[in-house]
């Protein structure tokens, strides 16, 4: 996703834990790839928004969050329709 002026850039992910409870290493690498790509843009606001299972981005942030500079992590709860800023 990109705003018409290019100042806001982001992507959406709909991920879940492996078998509902195990850390998803392949999905973690996808998150890392997107963080890296977003960091390379000249956008002022960079974000990843997640749906489905908030444990995936939360666990990624616990493990690798210190490596992601300038990218906001958000989660949209399907039931409540609320957006939560994870970082």
Q: What percent of the chain has pLDDT over 70?
A: 100
pLDDT digits (tens, 9 = 90+) for 38-55: 999 999 999 999 999 999
Phi, psi of 19 (to 5 degrees): 55, 25
Q: What is the pLDDT at residue 62? A: 96
Report yes or no: 28 and 60 within 8 Å, Cβ to Cβ: yes
**pLDDT tens figures, 1-23:** 999 999 999 999 999 999 989 98
**What pTM did the predictor assign?**
0.91
């Amino acid at each position: 996703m990109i705003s018409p002026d290019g100042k806001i850039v982001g992507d959406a992910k709909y991920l879940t834990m492996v078998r509902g409870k195990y850390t998803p290493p392949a999905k973690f690498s996808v998150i890392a790839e997107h963080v890296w790509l977003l960091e390379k843009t000249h956008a002022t606001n960079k974000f990843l928004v997640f749906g489905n299972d908030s444990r995936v981005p939360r666990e990624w942030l616990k493990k690798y969050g210190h490596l992601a500079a300038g990218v906001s992590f958000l989660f949209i709860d399907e039931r409540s329709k609320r957006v939560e800023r994870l970082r």
